[in-house]
Chain A
Amino acid sequence: MKHLLSAADLTVDEIVAILDLSDEMALVNQRENRKLPTLRNKTVVNLFFEDSTRTRISFEIAAKRLSADLINFSAKGSSVSKGESLKDTVQTLAASGVDAFVVRHSASGAPFNLAHRGWIDTPIINAGDGTHEHPTQALLDAMTIRERIFGLGNTKGKTLNGIRVMIVGDIAHSRVARSNFHLLTTLGAEVHLVAPPTLMPGGFGIHKHYDFDDALQSVKPDVVMMLRVQLERMSASFFPSESEYHRTWGLTSERFYRLDEKTSIMHPGPMNRGLEISSIAADSAQSTILQQVANGINVRMAVLYSLISGEKVVSE
C-alpha cells in the first residue's frame, strides 16, 4: 500500500491488519514511555487547506509518538494566499524531502490528484477531502466498534460481521458517512442510513430510512453514529429550523432512554450539542466519543507505520 486515499479501496484483510496494528499502538500509548523510535529520520507534512483541530493534532501526536519530524502547513498565511497552485505548493514541499503528506482539502479528489498526477512521488494520506472521504475516521470508528463489541484485548483478527450500525444525519455532505459506509460494509457490518430526504444521497446500499424512531425500533442497532450538521457546507435550506432538526433527527434524551443499554453512541466531533445530539446521550457511559479521539491517534500511528516505515514503494 503506497497511499491511503479512500476507505473504498481497502480489502477486509488490509483493514483487519491496520486495526490489529492499531490495537498494538493502543498498548504502546498506555505505557509510561509512549515514544517509539520507528520513524526516526522521516518527515511528515500536515498539508491542511481546510480548518481542522482534532484531525491535525491527532496526526501530529501520532507522527511524534513514532519519532517522525512533523511540519504543519496550513493554507492560511502561506503562499497559497498569494495564489500559488496546489501543484507548485506540493512540489516545493516535496523538494525539501518529505516522506508523507497528510492532506485535508475542501475539494473532493484533491488527495487523489496529488497521488496520481505524477507531480510528486510521495505517499499521500487523505485526512478529509470535501464531501468525499475521510478514511482514518472510518478506521478509528471501526477500531472503537470492535473494542465495544468484543471487549479490550479480544479484538485481534475480528471483523464486524452482522453488526448493525446506524448512521444518522447529514449523509449527503458527510465524508465521515461515506468512508464509514464503505469500510464497515467491507468488514461485514450492516450499515443503515437515516436522514431527511433532502440530505440522503443516491447509492449507498439498501438500508435507508426516513423516520428515525421507526428505524430505531425496527433495526435495533448495535451502534448509533450521529453526524455533525455541517452548516458550513449548506448553501440551501435543507431543513426548516435547528429545533425541528433536533426533534426529528437528533438523538434527543427521549430517544436515548429508549435505546438498549448496550447500544454504543458515536459522534466524529465536533458536536453541536442540542442539535444532532443531546448532552444526556453525549455524556453517557454508552458514548464512545472520547474513546474515538484516543483511537484516532492509534490508527494514525498504524497508518503512518504501514505506509512509510518500509523501503520506498515505487508507484505503479
Chain B
Amino acid sequence: MGTRTVLSSDDINRAITRIAHEILEANRGVEDLVILGIPTRGVVLAERIAQIIRRTGTAMPADFLGRLDITMYRDDLHRNPTREVTQTTIPSGGIDDKVVVLVDDVLYSGRTIRAALDALNAYGRPKAVRLAVLVDRGHRELPIRADYVGKNLPTAREERIMVHLDPIDNEDAVVISQ
C-alpha cells in the first residue's frame, strides 16, 4: 500500500490564505458574511480562514464563525453504525440574509454538502450559500460544485485522500493512499 503526500504544510497554508482572500474579494468586505465549518476538519479550516480574514484588518462583526454538524441530515445513516452527533454553533446574528460560506476538507460525492444545505435550511434563509474546500477530488454524484478550491486533485475511486490538520492530527498534510 503506497502513500504519497500531495500537499505539504506550506501548500496548505498558501491554499487557505488564497481562499480567505478570494472570499473577501467576492464579498467586497464581510458585513453579511458567516463562515461555517463542517466537522471534523472543516471546522479547523474555517477557523484558519476566519483568522486570516481578521488579520487583514477588515472590520469584522465579532461573531461570524460557527460550525454546522450535518450528521442528522445525512442520507446514509441507515447504512453505517450509529454516528456521533457533534455540536452545532450558529453565530448570534443567525444566517437570515447572510452570505454563508460552508467550509469542508474534501469535496467528493457532494452528499455531505447536500446534507449541509438541508441543515442550513433549518436555521434560516441565507442570501447566498458558497462552498470552500481544501481538496476537490472529483467523482460527484450530485449537481454540486465548490466556489473556492484549495487544490483540484483528480483521483481514482479506489484511492483514499486523507487530510491531516493540526491540532487534530498534530501536522498539516494531504496524503493519498491506494
The residues of A with any CB-CB pair to B shorter than 8 Å are 17, 21, 24, 27, 31, 33, 35-38, 41, 66, 156, 305-306, 309-311
Closest B-chain residue to A306, C-beta based? B82
| B83 on the A face (CB < 8 A) | yes
Q: What are 23 pairs between A and B in contact, CB < 8 Å?
A: A21-B85, A24-B69, A24-B86, A24-B87, A27-B88, A31-B123, A33-B121, A33-B122, A33-B123, A35-B122, A36-B122, A37-B73, A38-B72, A38-B77, A66-B72, A305-B72, A305-B82, A305-B85, A309-B77, A309-B82, A309-B83, A310-B77, A310-B80
Q: What is the distance, in angstroms, from A155's C-beta to the closest C-beta of chain B?
A: 12
Question: What are the interface flags for B81-108 relative to A under an 8 Å C-beta threshold, 1 for contact and 0 otherwise?
Answer: 1111111100000000000000000000
Q: Is there an interface contact between A311 and B73, defined as CB atoms closer than 8 Å?
A: no
List of 3 A-B pairs having minimum Cβ-Cβ separation, nearest first: A310-B82, A38-B72, A33-B122
Is B166 an interface residue when CB atoms closer than 8 A count as contact? no
Please tell me if B118 contacts chain A, counting CB pairs below 8 Å: yes
**Bound complex: CA of A24 vs CA of B88, how far in Å?**
8
**Chain A nearest CB: distance from B79 CB in Å?**
6
Residues of B within 8 A of A36 (CB): 72-73, 122
Given A24-B87, A310-B82, 11 new contacts (CB under 8 A): A17-B84, A24-B85, A24-B88, A31-B123, A35-B122, A36-B72, A37-B73, A38-B77, A41-B78, A309-B78, A310-B78
Contacts of B122 in A (CB 8 A): 31, 33, 35-36
Q: How far is the CA of A35 from the CA of B119 in the complex (A)?
A: 10
Instruction: Enumerate chain B residues within 8 angstroms of A24, measured Cβ to Cβ.
Output: 69, 85-88
Residue of B nearest to A23 (CB): B87
Name the residue of chain A whose CB is nearest to the CB of B123.
A31
Q: Is the interface of A mostly helix, strand, loop or mixed?
A: loop
- Chain B residue at minimal CB-CB distance from A66: B72
A17 to B84 Cα, complex, angstroms? 9
Residues of B contacting A309 with CB < 8 Å? Answer: 72, 77-78, 82-83
Nearest residue in B to A307 (C-beta to C-beta)?
B82
Identity of the chain A residue whose Cβ is nearest the Cβ of B118 in the assembled complex: A37
Q: Considering the chains assembled together, what is the distance between the CA atoms of A66 and B88 in angstroms?
A: 17
Task: Please indicate the chain B residues that have their CB under 8 angstroms from the CB of A305 in the complex.
Answer: 72, 82, 85
From B87, which residue of chain A is reached at the shortest CB distance?
A24
Measured between beta carbons, the chain B residues less than 8 angstroms from A38 are: 72-73, 77
Q: Residues of B contacting A17 with CB < 8 Å?
A: 84
Most central of B72, B77, B78 by chain A CB within 10 Å: B72
B175 to chain A, nearest CB (A): 28
A21 contacts which chain B residues (CB < 8 A)? 85
Are B81's CB and A311's CB within 8 A? yes
Contact assessment for B79 and A311 in the assembled complex, using a CB-CB cutoff below 8 Å: yes
Residues in B neighbouring A33, C-beta threshold 8 A: 121-123
Q: Which residue of A lies closest to B72 (CB)?
A: A38
Chain A residue nearest to B121 in the complex (CB): A33
Contacts of B83 in A (CB 8 A): 309-310
- B45-89 contacts to A (CB < 8 Å): 69, 72-73, 77-88
In the complex, A58→B108 CA distance in Å? 39
User: With the chains together, A27 CA to B89 CA distance in Å?
Assistant: 9
Q: B118 contacts which chain A residues (CB < 8 A)?
A: 37
**Residues of chain B lying within 8 A (CB to CB) of residue A27:** 88
Q: How far is the CA of A31 from the CA of B88 in the complex (A)?
A: 12
A68 to B121, CA, bound (A): 19
In angstroms, Cα B69 to Cα A24, docked, is 10
B83 CB to nearest chain A CB (Å): 7
The CA of A35 and the CA of B118, in the complex, are separated in Å by 11
